Structures are given as structure tokens and as C-alpha cells.
Structure 1
Amino acid sequence: MAVDISRPLALSRHARLSLFTALVASWVLVIVLLFSTLQNPEGVSGVASYVVSAVRPGLDAATKAKLARLDELEAEASAYAVSHGRCDAQLSALLEDLDARWGSTALDMSIGFEGSGLRVRRVVQKLLAGERVGITVLGGSITLGHSMAEGGRPWPLLLAEQLQGAFPAADVHLENNAIGATGSDYFNACYLHHTAEGTDLFLLEFAVNDAIIEMAAEHKLDTIWHAEHLVRAIGHTHPDAALVFLTAWQKPQHYITGADAHATVSEYYDIPRVSSRTFLYRYMLQNRDDIADHYVAADNFSHQNQKGHQYLADIMFHYILHQACRVQGAGGFVEQLTRETVTEPVPGFGGSELPSAYDPWALPPLRVRQRIDDDKVLPDAKPFCSSVRVRIQDGSTHGAPQLQPSANTGYEQFEWNDKWFWKSEHAGSQITFPNITVVDGTISLYFLRSWGHDMGDLLCWIDSDEESAALLTGLWGFVSVGARQLVAQDIKPGTHSLTCRSQEAKGQNGEKGGSRTQIIAIMAT
């Protein structure tokens, strides 16, 4: 039988009433949705959440399970946004400016190791929330701005201005506590004396000096050991702080520098590393004349000029902006960026093939050079440092040195290029430093080594054990640099003293060397 669909079907009164009721309910729902949209700036997703939360209690188990799966998919989508990121117009414009200046791929290449970025995103969240963010910069003469023209602006200052401009509601407090000719072998013990109060982010630039210092120590210095101990020490004293390594490079060095040791430490401890050499070195291999555009020719291209410092600031700013994009791209999804006990997989750190819980905040229990099946957990002893560079306010212009002798014949305080020393010009001068706290049995001296300045040697011993004195060589054939040398190990835990006596160095070809010695700090573990 054929049916004429053009003929209106008769509806019963009950059917018409049901249809009318459904239409009214639909319009009510539309009005509720529109009203919710006005009330909820998150848009459709927020409206959907509003409606689902209203009707979910009356749903059957199967529908609830489907909605739960939708919740999981939404969380996964948000986590994807955290991984890949989407910036707002302001930050996008800043990134476009950087791309126009240096090239987007070149900037991407500057991220030597991105890591998870969790701790940096915690800092970014504070910036976006308009909170105070404390930044401590530790490094050497490059970071200090050595050899720049008068009025030059080193990269930490440029970065602070960039961050304050990008996040105007925040209070960016940056301290540049770099010290020329100084590397991780000094800061791993003495960093607390050079750390700003309330530090949320440490920026570490040691690649150039760590390579030089390792040479100064005749490759007996373990750069990985010092960088690792610095990272672990900060992990205990500032457990919520973020760390980022910055690799700078200078023309007199090979491509291989202290950065290669830092790369191992950064990967093992999930510390981002931003590098000026990954792209710029290759670029300058093809464009040798451009080296003069980035470095100061007057000191053999060893230090960056203003353009070189702008590049260092920009690659660090670029990395931080990318982490900000990941925070913004998450939308309403807020990453858990505070340390807490992890009992189940953290979003982004597990999947069907990695079902066990992983704690991204925890310090690895083993050191870099231990095997994974090693059951010996080495304790992290708080390092001891007493430094002449740490000045204690006493009413005088420069303050008193923290490193004070109990006995002194022939040594005096001396300032040179913004660096302080206990200095003697003569052989036979002797100085004793008391109250050195030893836990793990070692005492080291941090002193100046140099190719010139009539440098001499030091003979140092613990307590009254002069027969076991160690010879510390001050004269060597390269640049002037602070160097750390072990005086004694297997020392009984407790409080000890260190005595050093200056003596004439052996010069080249059997000639006599100088007698000048310059002491900077005492370290103990």
C-alpha cells in the first residue's frame, strides 16, 4: 500500500501535548546554555561541563562510563596542549620578533636539551599570575659582561627586562652573581653565599670556565662531579626551584667544552640546557667574518659584545616563552606543578606501555656514574665554604671577608677586577684558617692559577700535619682562573684548620718562577 507523505498525519491530543512539552524543554535548555555561555568564559567546553554536571546523577552506568571516558579524552587533549603549546597574541608576537631576528629554526636548535620543563613552567605560572619571581644567575666573566663597551648590558640584564616586559604584572627580581674566572668547582660548594633570597630559578653558565679549569687542574678535576654536586645541593636547599644551564662559547676554545659534562648532568637530572653553540658555531664555520659581529676583538674574541649578549638573552627568553606557551595552551587544564608524593602515573609521564608511577620531582637516588643496579645510596652532605669573596658588613666600604685567618704572616686582602683574594708577594708567607667543618673527609683550597703575575706555589696541610702537606701549583701556561685542588682526604669528621705557606714556583726551562699566591676560598665535604 502506498503512503502519501504529503498528507498531514493526524496527531492525537496526547501526542500533540508531548511534542509541545518537548519543544518547550528544548527551548529551556537552549536558554540555559546561552545563559551559561555568558556566565562561563570557557565557552562550549564549560557549558558542556555545566550541563553534564547537572544531569550526570540521573544517568545509567553505561552512559556515566562513556562520559568518564570523554573526561579522560579531554584531559589527554589538554595534556597534549601542554606538550605542544599555543600562545596568546602577546607572547606569539614576542616569539615572532625573535624569529625575525635570528630565525625560528636557529632558535629551536639553541634548545640543547628541553627536558620536561616542569619546574620552569612552575616559574612561568607565577609570572602569568603576576607574582614575584626570584632569579639567581651564576657564571663567569661572560655573564658578568667582561670586555663589553662602557654602558654595555650583559645578557642577564637584558633577560630581566624581557621577562618584565612579557609579564608586566609580575615582579621579576634577578640578581647577576657571576664571578669572573669562576666555574662550577667554586659554586658547587659556595653557591648559597651567592644566591638571592627567594630564588625560584637558577641560570647557570659555566661551560667556558669549566673547560679551562679542567685544563688548569691537568684534567684531574671532574667537571661532571662538580656540576652534579651543585645540582644536588640546590635540589636540597631549593627543592621547588628550576635550573637551566646556559652554554656560552668563545673563539679560543674547541667545540668541546664544559658543556659536554653539563649535557650529561642536565639529561640525568632533567635540567633544560640552552646553548649558543649548537647553531651559532656551525653558522660561524661557514661565515667566519661574522665572529667579529658577536665577540670583542680586543681580547681575542673571548667575550661577547652587545650583539653576542643579545643572542644569549634571546635564546634563554625563547626557551622560557615556549614553556609559557605550553602553560597557556593548556587552557583550563592546570598542570600539577608542585612537589607531592606520587602514587599513580602523572599525566604525560606514563601510558599503556609505561603503567608504573614515576615521580618527576624526585632527585635520582644514585649518582651519574653509578650503575642502575648499585644498591649503595651516597649521602648528600651539605658542603662547607668559607670565601674571601663573601663580604660581611662591618661599617667599612667593602665589608670584612668571611674567610678570616687565625694566624697570618705576610698575607693581605687584595681586590683585582672585582674579585677578592688573600694575597702574598713573597715566599715564606704563612696563613692559617680555623673552624673548617668536615663531614665526608675532604678539604680543598680554591686559589688563583695564572700564566703570569709572577705566580708562586702553595704548600698546604691540615691541622699540624705538615709532613703530609700538599703542593698546589699556581703557575701554569694558560689564562688566569680560579682553581680548586684537593689538600687532603679521609679526614676525620669534625672541625679542622688549614695552613698554607707560599713558596717560589719552578719556572720553565729550569728558571725560577715567582712567589705571588692568591687564596680565594676553602671548601670541605
Structure 2
Amino acid sequence: MTTNAFLTSPSRGPSRVVRATQSCELCIVDRHNPLCEYGIDNIRQSRHFMGSGHRVRRFMEKALRGENVTIGVMGASDTAGHGLKNGLSWHERMTEQLQAHFPNLKVHVGAEAGMNSKLFAYCFDSVVPRDLDMYMVELDINNDAVSGTFVADDHLYRGLLGLPQEPAVIRVSVFALGFTELLRGFGSNIGTSAFFDIPVIGIRNWILPHIIKNPDQAELFFSKDWAGTTDLRHIGEESHRALGDMIALYLEEQKCEAERRQYSADKVADPVLPTCQFVASETAPLVAFGNEWSEKWRKEEWNGKRAWTSSEVGAIISFEFIGARVGIFVWATNGAGNTVKPGQARCWVDDTVERGVIVDAYKSGKAAGSSWNTVADPIDFGEHMLTCEILSSSSTGGHDFRILGVANN
């Protein structure tokens, strides 16, 4: 590893190990393991929250029996590998380590750049299958440090933990320096993960203090943009490698725990099973109802995102859904620096136009991203029609409106 000098810790491991302790801390038992190069203290700091790990051990028990095991990886730009020109992404690095022990492991990657927990809370099964043994979630950067993020993380965890197969869930934590605040979604991550007994593994707690102390070394941990400038929003190759190794180390230790003690689990939460139709989904694509939209709306793809798009005032589009509440995800931006000038639309359910809500695709701040907007909650459970019409009013003078998905439960 090229940046070994600043990843070392004061304690590299004891010179003698007493085997009778039966420790599952890999780098205490075998300090010569290549994954232990980071130092014991840094490895311990990578476990932002450990929890009981009981579902992770059950995953490991299945893998140890030689059965097929599956992992679903959900995340945003870092998981998608944005800015990573060389080397493996964190989940590719992790997979490489795990498949050396478990060749029957299959990993499904559902990375959606610019998205946050509000999307995945409803739409996780539009990017990864819902019958997997484990899910990993990386969303700290795009999640804002607001109360709505806690609600979205709560819904996401209930949706995953409530699946019939009772999968394991691991939260993956990264960080960025390109925002006015450092916290971002980390506060919600830690709070909700602790409540639901979900382990949090990351690089934030041990790399961020190092960068604060040595700001001139920040470029070692982040990627480069198209102009060769350090991109402080997307981690670089060394950070991807370290993150993948830390997750692999944690799973190795849980494998050891699964081998030496009996598994015992309790129910965690009542199930909340939302459904989602998403333009970018292969399994549940968002399909417009009827033909009235055909001349004024189009499917558009840009920078790995896809949406139903129109900029014509009065353009109407409708979608069928079944549920007792519904909302839409739109692409929100401030419109600065490009030709896209976001507009507004009125959205309503069935014939209740007068009770419709105005959805604004304008978002202050530099970072564009998905925006969740509740349209109706509650309504009578059943089949309904969601309709949106572009308005003449606008926060920017433009009328561009991009619908990413519709979610309901």
C-alpha cells in the first residue's frame, strides 16, 4: 500500500499471542496477515458501531456450510466508482477477499449516483433483488444532516430487516470534504444503525482525523476530476482499498465468531414493505399510463441517470400504483452552470386535483440530486392513479421537470 506511513497506528500487535484466549480479532491472532497493515487501532476505529452481529454470523454460518450466499450492495457515487480511474472499488476489493474463502459468493451491485436514503427506502428492490442474504448500504455523502434523513433511514432498515429471509445488513461509511458541513448523513447513520443493531464499518473515524491534522495529504484519499483537480466529494483508490479491506476484516472476524459460538437471534422490527417503480430499474421500470404523454414527455438518460422528462407547460403524465400513500422522486438542481432550468409541477391522486401538491425541481446549493416529495398520505388502500402537470410558475424561469420514480406502500 503506497500510503502505509500515515495509516500505521501505535499498536501493531503483540509479539506473543496466548492462544487460549481464542480471540477472533484477526490482527491479534495473526499480525502478519496482509490485511493487518493498517494497524490494530485503525482497524478498531473502522468499526464505527459493532452491535451484536447476530445476523452477520448467520450469514457466515450459511457460507461455512458451503451453500450459495448473496450480497446486495446499495450506494451512490462512491459505490458507483465515480472518479476511480484505476484499481478496484471498495465492494470489488471486498468481494475479492471474500471469494478466496467462499467461492459460492455472488454480489449484486445497485449503485445510483446522486441518490440518497429517501430513494432506497422505497426503491431498494429496483436496484438489487429482495431475496439476498446480506445487504450493504453506503449513503452518508448524499444524505443531508436533517431530520428527514432519520425517517428515511428508519424506513430503509425496516424494509430490509423485515424481508422474509431476515437478511443481515451492514452500513458502510465514507466521508467527503466538498460540503459546508462534515457530518452529512453520518449522524442518522449512527443513530438509526445503533437502534436497529446494524454494524457500521467505514473509514471516516480514522482517516478524517488524519486529514484534519495533515490537510496537505487530503489528495491521497480522494479522486481527481476531469481537469486533474482533487475531487473532495469522491474517495480515491487508496480509500476504496482501505474500505474494502476493513469490511473484509470485519467479516473474517464474524466468520470466526460463527465458528466458535451458537447463533441466537430475535426479531428486530415489524416489516414495512414498500414498492417502487423507477425509470432506471430493470425489474420494476416506471411506465407511463395511456398515450397522452407521448408527444410531450420523453425518457432521457444523462450521467448514468434516467427519468421521464418534459419542459412544456401543461404537459401531463400519469402512473398507476397500488397503496395507501404515494410520492415521487424528481431530479433537483439549482440550474446554475448548465442549460437545465428546473421547473414546477402539480401532482395529485385520482381526481383530487384541488388537493394536489406543488413539486419544485429547484434545489439550492451546488449539488444536484434526487428529491423525495410526498403527494398523498394517507389515502384508501387500493388501485390509484398519480398524475403530474408542469406549471407555468417556476423558481428559475425554466420548466424542466424530471421524474425519476414513483414509490408507494
Q: Give the TM-score of the pair, scaled to structure 2.
A: 0.85
Q: Distance in 2 between matches of 1:205 and 1:429?
A: 36
The answer as to 2:299 corresponding to 1:362 is no
Structure 1 contact 87–326 (Cα < 8 Å) conserved:
no
Provide Cα deviations, 1:429-465, integer angstroms capped at 9, x if missing partner: 211112x1123xx211111001222111121111122
CA positional deviation for 1:277:
1.2
CA positional deviation for 1:115:
0.7
CA positional deviation for 1:517:
0.7
Counterpart secondary structure, 1:153: coil
CA positional deviation for 1:505:
5.4
AA matched with 1:257 = R
Counterpart secondary structure, 1:301: strand
Map 1:254-269 to 2 at 5 A. Answer: 254-269=181-196
Number of the residue aligned with 1:371: none
Q: Distance in 2 between matches of 1:505 and 1:289?
A: 47
Number of the residue aligned with 2:110: 177
Q: Could you list the structure 1 runs, at least 4 aligned residues long, displaced by more than 4 angstroms after superposition.
A: 86-89
The answer as to 2:345 corresponding to 1:458 is yes
Q: Distance in 1 between matches of 2:131 and 2:363?
A: 40
AA matched with 2:65 = A
Identity over the aligned pairs, expressed in percent? 23
Number of the residue aligned with 1:306: 237
Number of the residue aligned with 1:237: 163
Structure with more relative contact order (C-alpha pairs < 8 Å, separation 6 or more): 2
Q: Distance in 2 between matches of 1:86 and 1:519?
A: 47
AA matched with 2:267 = A
Question: Larger deviation: 177-186 or 121-130?
Answer: 121-130
Number of the residue aligned with 1:113: 49
Q: Distance in 1 between matches of 2:178 and 2:302?
A: 24
Name which of 376, 381, 386 aligns with 1:498: 386
Provide Cα deviations, 1:60-103, integer angstroms capped at 9, x if missing partner: xxxxxxxxxxxxxxxxxxxx85xx426599x936x732222x22
Number of the residue aligned with 1:420: 306
CA positional deviation for 1:427:
2.4
CA positional deviation for 1:325:
2.9
CA positional deviation for 1:523:
1.2
Name which of 199, 220, 233 aligns with 1:272: 199
Number of the residue aligned with 2:357: 470
AA matched with 1:160 = T
CA positional deviation for 1:410:
0.8
Map 1:339-378 to 2 at 5 A. Answer: 360-364=265-269
Question: Larger deviation: 137-146 or 288-297?
Answer: 288-297
Name which of 292, 317, 320 aligns with 2:251: 320
Number of the residue aligned with 2:376: 488
Structure 2 contact 318–387 (Cα < 8 Å) conserved:
yes
Number of the residue aligned with 1:137: 73
AA matched with 2:302 = W
Q: Distance in 2 between matches of 1:204 and 1:137?
A: 6
Q: Distance in 2 between matches of 1:164 and 1:201?
A: 15
Provide Cα deviations, 1:13-69, integer angstroms capped at 9, x if missing partner: xxxxxxxxxxxxxxxxxxxxxxxxxxxxxxxxxxxxxxxxxxxxxxxxxxxxxxxxx
Task: Tell me which protein shows more strand as a share of its residues.
Answer: 2
Structure 1 contact 427–516 (Cα < 8 Å) conserved:
no
CA positional deviation for 1:131:
2.6
Task: Tell me which protein shows more helix as a share of its residues.
Answer: 1
Structure 1 contact 444–485 (Cα < 8 Å) conserved:
yes
Q: Distance in 1 between matches of 2:297 and 2:277?
A: 17
Q: Distance in 1 between matches of 2:251 and 2:313?
A: 51
Q: Give the TM-score of the pair, scaled to structure 1.
A: 0.67
Q: Distance in 2 between matches of 1:256 and 1:505?
A: 35
Number of the residue aligned with 1:355: none
Number of the residue aligned with 1:352: none
Q: Distance in 2 between matches of 1:505 and 1:314?
A: 51
Q: Distance in 1 between matches of 2:99 and 2:363?
A: 44
The answer as to 2:323 corresponding to 1:438 is yes
Number of the residue aligned with 1:48: none
AA matched with 1:189 = Y
Q: Distance in 2 between matches of 1:86 and 1:210?
A: 32
Structure 1 contact 139–179 (Cα < 8 Å) conserved:
yes
Counterpart secondary structure, 1:229: helix
Number of the residue aligned with 1:92: 30
Structure 1 contact 109–279 (Cα < 8 Å) conserved:
yes
Provide Cα deviations, 1:190-243, integer angstroms capped at 9, x if missing partner: 1122223751110001111112xx6xxxx5x62122111121122222443110
Q: Distance in 2 between matches of 1:86 and 1:524?
A: 43
Structure 1 contact 134–196 (Cα < 8 Å) conserved:
no
Structure 1 contact 447–482 (Cα < 8 Å) conserved:
yes
Q: Distance in 1 between matches of 2:168 and 2:162?
A: 12
AA matched with 1:97 = P
Q: 1:87 to 1:156 in 2, by over 3 A?
A: closer
Any gaps of 5 or more consecutive residues in structure 1?
A: 1-79, 338-359, 366-379, 393-399
Counterpart secondary structure, 1:125: helix
CA positional deviation for 1:178:
1.1
The answer as to 2:326 corresponding to 1:389 is no
Structure 2 contact 57–263 (Cα < 8 Å) conserved:
no
Q: Distance in 1 between matches of 2:213 and 2:164?
A: 43
Q: 1:185 to 1:387 in 2, by over 3 A?
A: same
Counterpart secondary structure, 2:141: helix
AA matched with 1:287 = N
Q: Distance in 1 between matches of 2:269 and 2:364?
A: 39
Provide Cα deviations, 1:340-371, integer angstroms capped at 9, x if missing partner: xxxxxxxxxxxxxxxxxxxx421246xxxxxx
Q: Distance in 2 between matches of 1:96 and 1:223?
A: 38
Name which of 223, 226, 242 aligns with 1:296: 223
